[in-house]
Amino acid sequence: MSILSIKTYPARVLKEKAEPVKSIDGRLRQLIANMVETMYDSSGVGLAAPQVGVSKRLIVVDTAYREQGTNGLVVIINPEIVYQEGQENAIEGCLSLPRFTVAMERSVRVYVRGVDPNGNPIEIESTGLFSRALQHEIDHLNGVLLIDRLTPLQKQNLGGSFLKFNQ
């Protein structure tokens, strides 16, 4: 396994919609292992393939060490949110936007469908930090960053610094 380089804003791959995974093979399994190691090494709770420069619809999430009652590591290939409800605000950060945190409104509960690394369909219903992390990582697969979700007031309060914070 290897620690991968995390792409930071304004890397182009972060703004592109990721391609669906068409086959699960040794290369994909190696990418998953490397992403997991990179996420843990970076003290993240989630990581999407575009964040390591791979435009594929693949995420890894583990909020267990920060949140009681979660199952630990979850790997989802071609994830999609099929249901969401409620709204709540909480502070979010992103490994691709170092030193930047912002209050972000997300759904309280999400239902996500995808495929596990063995090719089996999986369905996950989540709340709390796990729900937030799933939404955040799926945003990455759609080329959406935290700065894209800022309200006009948040953008005004930042005075455009959100475009310069990574320098």
Active site residues: 137
Residue 146, judged by CB atoms within 10 A of its CB (0-12, 13-18, 19+), counts as: buried
What three-state secondary structure class fits 27? helix
Pairwise CA distance, residues 113 & 122, whole Å: 6
What is d(CA 147, CA 162) in angstroms, rounded to the nearest whole number? 7
Q: Is 83 helix (H, G, I), strand (E, B) or coil?
A: strand
Q: What's the token pair of residue 85?
A: 């409800």
Residue 117, preceding peptide bond in cis (omega within 30° of 0): no
Question: From CA 137, how far away is CA 18, in angstroms rounded?
Answer: 12
Cα 5 to Cα 7: distance, rounded to the nearest angstrom: 6
The strand pairing partners of 127, in sequence order, are 109
